[in-house]
Structure 1
């Protein structure tokens, strides 16, 4: 196996003997000058194939300890869930954990609720969410709120590929394009459709539309964070409401405040980091 690019001290982008690209974990594999041949394969603890290259930049930005805990959680999910998992589960989960840690520091008194609806619908994934929260506390010395069990559980639900690949009753791609144009018109920008933040937004939209179609929405209480973002970014809020209206008109289903909040977060990232003016 050849290491071709460092992500951090213990993670590197590699090539196996069949020239297939993968993400490899191993103590110190990111130290040597790249590229180099990894001769001792026993030093590799975990490997992940088929990850979208648009996520590589994110992997470099996430703190090393957060990324490694996320990898341990994903490894547990691979063993526990009897299905194919989306290869982008790892960067998505690492990004979420990093955001949750940041949010906890900024909104220490914010109360969010554990969703019993999700526990009833997805008991195995909820158990994995509990494992993840306990592991984060053990490894990162941070006690996340119980609501993160629900949030992390939904990452596993979303990553189970047979669920998202089932045919939809409407044209998802066309709806996503309409939503993208709505954002572009409001902010007078041209969105880079190959950028990471846009692709993360699209993935979020696909899963949300699927949950809406299957009437599997859940409601938590992110009111404090919602009001803070609304006050801080009124134009982002108005755009999220506009996107919600498009979705509601198409699917005849109401967008929850929590989902509007996540739309605001994604739209803000796109506008700040991922546009071509």
Structure 2
């Protein structure tokens, strides 16, 4: 491997013989070295494959200061997440995850556990991220002998929710989760049913809510209609109960964000509500 960029004494960017670049960590790898010189491979402790050419300075500093065992653990967790959900996370996941893991392990060693008030919502609306969190606490137990609970798994899951949604702030992730929960409760209360969480329509409904609410919280929702008022009228007439539910959700969003849904959003949400509730209603009448 050849040195392409020296970040500090312990962290460099290197290129292998076929032109692939890596971030390489090892004690003294960059000390008194220059770009173009060969990497002292005996000193390599950890190699990362990152997505971005512009690596955040905080991540570089963190890699230079953090114990390799924490970096290795974080890399295993991110690797599992990518296998389960694809390479959809920003490199910033390493920053938040390493920070969280170090603090969490320190807390648990002092017998200080925290409760996540959004545990139920995370398990319900972000099942794959919660699965990643559960895998993470198993890896922590295996590597450090510390048994963490599902509350800690849900905290880790939230970092992956955050990294998947363009690196938004954690507070915004919390707000989005709370709004999804409120909308979910409006639907289930209006229909007085329990939705089938294993159904394909449920999965599509939750995914739609995640992206729709993210746009609403970020104030990026589409306010202009497509001009297809015919479709709007058709959906309104054909799916009357679902449309009434959409109107209740719209009133809730107006009160919370002082911003109404567009005609297109009402159409899409009404269709999703009809689909996710129709099977349950048929089962309830059987």
Q: TM-score, normalization: structure 1?
A: 0.51
Task: Give 1:209's aligned residue.
Answer: 172
CA contact (8 A) 2:77 2:136 kept: yes
Task: Give 1:124's aligned residue.
Answer: 128
2:105 to 101, 109, 119: 101
CA contact (8 A) 2:14 2:21 kept: yes
Mapped partners of 1:2, 1:217: distance in 2: 51
Three-state SS of the structure 2 residue aligned to 1:24 is strand
Change (3 A) 1:32 1:55: closer
1:112 to 115, 125, 130: 115
Three-state SS of the structure 1 residue aligned to 2:135 is helix
CA contact (8 A) 1:49 1:87 kept: yes
For residue 213 of structure 1, report the CA deviation from its aligned partner.
5.0
Mapped partners of 2:64, 2:75: distance in 1: 14
RMSD: 3.7
Change (3 A) 1:110 1:117: same
Three-state SS of the structure 2 residue aligned to 1:15 is strand
Structure 1 gaps of 5+ residues are 165-202, 219-250, 254-277
Mapped partners of 1:123, 1:32: distance in 2: 42
Task: Give 2:147's aligned residue.
Answer: 143
Give yes or no for the alignment of 1:81 onto 2:85: yes
Task: Give 1:24's aligned residue.
Answer: 24
Give yes or no for the alignment of 1:48 onto 2:11: no
Mapped partners of 1:217, 1:13: distance in 2: 44
Give yes or no for the alignment of 1:155 onto 2:155: no
Mapped partners of 2:56, 2:15: distance in 1: 17
Task: Give 1:200's aligned residue.
Answer: none
Change (3 A) 1:30 1:139: farther
For residue 6 of structure 1, report the CA deviation from its aligned partner.
6.0
- Deviation by residue 1:41-87 (Cα, 9 ceiling, x = unmatched): xx876422423123222223322211210111111111211352111
Mapped partners of 2:23, 2:115: distance in 1: 34
Which has the greater radius of gyration?
A: 2
Task: Give 1:2's aligned residue.
Answer: 2
Aligned residues: 174
Give yes or no for the alignment of 1:64 onto 2:63: no
CA contact (8 A) 2:108 2:146 kept: no
For residue 122 of structure 1, report the CA deviation from its aligned partner.
0.8
Larger RCO of the pair (alpha carbons < 8 Å, separation 6+): 1
Q: TM-score, normalization: structure 2?
A: 0.50
Structure 2 gaps of 5+ residues are 183-254, 258-286
Mapped partners of 2:62, 2:40: distance in 1: 28
CA contact (8 A) 1:86 1:159 kept: yes
Three-state SS of the structure 1 residue aligned to 2:49 is strand
Change (3 A) 1:20 1:32: same
